[in-house]
Structure 1
Amino acid sequence: MDLIIRDASLSERGELRHADIGIANGTIVAIEASLQADAPARDVGGCLVVPGLIETHIHLDKTCILDRCRIAEGTVAEAVRETAAAKRNFAVDDVYARAKRTIERCISHGTMRMRTHVELDPGIGMIGYDAIEQLKRDYAWAVDLELCVFPQEGLTNYPGTEELLIEGLRRGARTIGAAPYFDADPQAQIDRIFAIARDFDAEIDMHLDLAETLDNMQIEYVCRKTEEYGWGGRVAVGHVTQMSLLPPERFNAIAKQLANAGVAVTVLPSTDLHLMGRRQDHAIPRGVVPLEPLRAAGVTCSISTNNVLNPFTPYGDGSLVRMANLYANVCHVSRPDHLAGCLDMITSDAARLMRLDDYGMRIGGVADLVCLDAHDPAEAVSTLAHPLWGLKRGRPSFTRPRPVLHAPR
């Protein structure tokens, strides 16, 4: 045995217990009280230890570009327009340097698995892909990085984009995305994405229904296509801010449809709060979908960051605990079990969305562990608990010491 984590607080199916964790060769080999073994030990004093945090939806290729863009309207259209103009001057080294800043922030906040969306179109070519592919190799010691190729500026109306998406999949991307609300024919884009996913046996992760009205919602169509293709459990949709505007009867009907089809939902609270409600001068909608009723209906849900320091989201430090706390604030989450559920949506539920078979606090699982400065999941979310340290495959990946107060003597 290489290491024993002693007196860890563990949450299993809503129950809290204290145990020691034995690690050997990057794998969890024991979880039991008062583990008897001869190995170096680290006593965490009852702090909460969880599997590595999971970022299911982020954009590393267009992070940290506020100095190149203007935010005057704060709308989705402006964000796409400003980013499109900026990315035409991107270079591989530039994308890499900016993405490196953000991925290192994410690592320091406990993220160990990540799905990053990468824009491909004739305006940017494979520049973003090349940079993030190199980043994936260079940071494999700390993060398992999955690339999702997608057409931000349209597919059916942007000749040459489909060929680039296919090239990305051929080069190893295992997920294809979409943004049908910026296509001249949204349903035609959805149709093509499903067809390409079937050809390459790829996962699907769409930006969907990001709008401030109920016009042209596509979520029910995506559910039907998922069932048609037999892709249940392999489709996720992000944003879906239009669902936050629905009356309960239709909301619940769509929740059931999502669950039956096997379509997961990712909420991106920072981005959705920033971009939505720009048309109103009072009673401004928040645009963040409440996930508790979706989870109760059987929908797999995650909370994620989306963008960092760009026109889509001019904020961000890479903290998923902060995203979980922000979501809890916006959606009036207060029950301890629901607060704990927010932590699930950046750990175990996020792993289910990404179909990660080796994930979890279990014997035989990979030793990707994060120690949070809290004693239970609800406290971790409500207090914005700092990750104190992390192990990636049993090897230290980051340390974040507690602050020290210096009282006068």
Structure 2
Amino acid sequence: MPLDLILRQATLAGQPGPVDIGIRSGLITAIAPLLPAQAREIALDGRLVTPGFVDSHIHLDKACLGGRCVCHTGTLTEAIAAVAAAKRDFTEDDIYRRGARTLEKAILQGTNRMRTHVEVDPRIGLKGFRAVNALRQAYRWAIDLQICVFPQEGLLNDPGTEDLLIEACAGGADLIGGCPYADSDPAGQIARIFDIARRFDIDIDFHLDFDLDPSWMHLDEVCRQTERHGWGGRVAAGHVTKLSELPPEELAAVAARLANAGVALTALPATDLFLMGAGRSHSVPRGVAPLHRLAEAGVTCSLATNNVLNPFTPFGDCSLLRMANLYANVLQIGSPAGLTACFDMVTRAPARLMRLDGYDIAIGAPAHLVALDAADPAEAVATLAAPLFGLRHGEMTFSRPAAQLLRPVPQAARAV
């Protein structure tokens, strides 16, 4: 059977020796040490090929707000207030343009699946949902986008928000989120979010336990409601910075609880580092949950971007490899196995968290692939390896040729 494209001598994570990958009609149709077929070829010379990076938690609707928000303390409370004030002036076109800028950065960094959280409340209405839904359609040639609508400023304490969330779910939102710490009745909000999820048969993704006081956790109520509703494997929670303050034995107990309930976790290293401990003059805590420890206990754990160029995170290039590298630095992970686990938390683990079909390099799978300038996942994380190109259904979505040194030509050679 003729092929459209062959990736020659590609390295696949966890597999010995380079292989050729044959692609036809947008699908992977052959994988072998050497394919004798004739087709257009790309020589990889042992470089790593992955199904692509998966960003399980980002906010496209409030990205790139530089110059619009003035912050002085760098706290979570200040960031929420600053963006709440700014979003009153958002338009759909404004959200679309800022979201497009961010999406394109992510695509160029090798991300080809993404879950974005979108704020819904009486101030912003459904502007963010409509703008991001338009982005989903416009960029489907390069990336699959899930939309999670959620109430950033509360639910039970914010009349009109629940009706808007229900309208968005009826209008095509993929899942619903919650933010209990912003509500006057956190447990009540969690219960209502589960009720809406059951009504529409959709998954849930919370912003949760975003502080450094481990004496109490909303995670307990989320686990309880997950088990009560039989929603195991369909619930995730982001941030959970409280977990960074737990001693090993208490962390192990939380891990067992999460694994049994089927609740996944996402750490947002850039945001969590930036906001946690703000205002302290010394011994500032890192505030990043040690998710690799929970992953070892069977919890599905991912690393993600969260915010880009706004008061929550005033920097960012949408590189998930950078998030994996940052996490490894903060959690002092340096072994090849540990770095490989970090790579998994921006690829296969978030794919499981988002319940993605076809996320694999296997015969019959869609040819959604990214090539990296590294020999294996550990090297990719350690060196922040550049993504060289990406494919969706076998078609190129971006390219970035490997950097080359331009050595000077010796004088003797010039004379000849």
TM-score range, shorter chain: over 0.9
**Displacement of 1:405:** 2.5
Q: CA RMSD in A?
A: 1.0
The residue aligned with 2:146 is 146
- What does 1:340-355 align with in structure 2 at a 5 Å threshold? 340-355=340-355
Per-residue Cα deviation, 1:21-76 (whole angstroms, up to 9, x for no partner): 11111111111110122221111111000011111000000000121001201011
Shift of 1:215: 4.7
Q: SS of 1:190's equivalent?
A: helix
The structural deviation recorded for 1:212 is 2.3
Q: Is the 8 A contact 1:390 1:396 kept in 2?
A: yes
Which residues of 2 match residues 134-213 of structure 1 at below 5 A?
134-213=134-213
Alpha-carbon deviation of 1:279?
4.3
Which structure 2 residues correspond to residues 265-304 of structure 1 after superposition, within 5 A?
A: 265-304=265-304
Structure 2 letter corresponding to 1:3: L
2:101 is aligned to: 101
TM-fit CA distance, 1:264: 0.6
1:9 aligns with 2:17: no
Please show how residues 311-322 of structure 1 align to structure 2 within 5 Å: 311-322=311-322
Aligned to 2:114: 114
**Structure 1 residue 206, shift from structure 2 partner:** 0.5
Structure 1 runs (4+) deviating above 6 angstroms are: none
Distance 1:36 1:199 in 2: 53
- C-alpha distance in structure 2 between counterparts of 1:189 and 1:384, whole Å: 40
Matches of 1:17 and 1:353 in 2, distance apart? 29
Do the aligned partners of residues 248 and 213 (structure 1) sit closer, same or farther apart at CA in structure 2, a change above 3 Å counting?
A: same
Match of residue 18 from structure 1: 18
Helix, strand or coil for the counterpart of 2:238? strand
In structure 2, C-alpha distance between the alignment counterparts of 1:370 and 1:288, rounded to whole Å: 28
- 2:232 aligned with 1:232: yes
Q: Which runs of 5+ in 1 are unaligned?
A: none
- 1:244-279: per-residue Cα shift (whole Å, max 9, x none)? 101111111000001111111101000000000124
Name 2:413's counterpart in structure 1: none
Q: Deviations over 1:342-375 (max 9, x none)?
A: 1111111111000012111111111110000000
Q: What one-letter code is carried by the residue in structure 2 that aligns with 1:68?
A: R
Q: Shift of residue 380 of structure 1? A: 0.3
User: Which one has a bigger Cα radius of gyration?
Assistant: 2
Q: Are 1:236 and 1:266, in contact at CA under 8 Å, matched by a contact in 2?
A: yes
Residue deviations 1:103-160, cap 9 Å, x none? 0000000000000000000000011111111111100000111100000000000001
- Please state whether the residue corresponding to 1:35 is helix, strand or coil: coil
Deviation at 1:216, TM superposition (A): 3.9
Matched, 1:407 2:407: yes
Between the aligned partners of 1:360 and 1:89, the Cα distance in structure 2 is 42
Tell me the SS of whatever aligns to 1:375: coil
Matches of 2:237 and 2:17 in 1, distance apart? 34
Contact 2:75 2:279 in 1 (8 A): no
Q: Which amino acid aligns with 1:8?
A: A
Match of 2:69 in 1: 69
- Equivalent pair of 2:292/2:301 in contact (CA under 8 Å): no
Which range moves more in the overlay, 189-198 or 32-41?
A: 32-41
- 1: distance between equivalents of 2:69 and 2:277? 21
SS in structure 1 of the partner of residue 145 of structure 2: strand
Which letter maps to 1:90?
F
Do structure 1's residue 47 and structure 2's residue 29 form an aligned pair? no
Contact 1:300-1:352 at 8 Å conserved across structures: yes
In 1, Cα distance between equivalents of 2:207 and 2:31:
39
Structure 2 stretches of 5 or more lacking a match? Answer: 410-416
**TM-score, normalized by length of structure 1?**
0.98
Contact 1:119 1:150 in 2 (8 A): yes
Q: What percent identity do the matched residue pairs reach?
A: 56
Note the C-alpha offset of 1:20.
Answer: 0.6
TM-score where L is the length of structure 2: 0.96
**Alpha-carbon distance in 2 for matches of 1:180, 1:66:** 27
Higher alpha-carbon deviation: 39-48 or 114-123? 39-48
Equivalent residue of 2:118, what SS?
A: strand
Partner of 1:370: 370
Contact in 2 for aligned 1:11/1:17 (Cα 8 Å): no
- Equivalent residue letter for 2:12: L
- What corresponds to 2:398 in structure 1? 398
Higher mean displacement: 279-288 or 195-204: 279-288
- For residue 93 of structure 1, report the CA deviation from its aligned partner: 0.5
Asked if structure 1 preserves the Cα contact closer than 8 Å seen for 2:73 and 2:279, the reply is: no
Please state whether the residue corresponding to 2:62 is helix, strand or coil: coil
Q: Is the 8 A contact 2:212 2:244 kept in 1?
A: no
Q: Which residue of 1 aligns with 2:241?
A: 241
Letter in 1 for 2:96: Y
Displacement after TM superposition at 1:214 (Å) = 2.3
Aligned to 1:264: 264
Partner Cα distance (1:204, 1:382) in 2: 33
- What SS class does the counterpart of residue 356 from structure 2 fall into? coil
Aligned length: 407
How far apart in 2 are the matches of 1:370 and 1:143? 12
Aligned letter for 1:105?
Answer: K
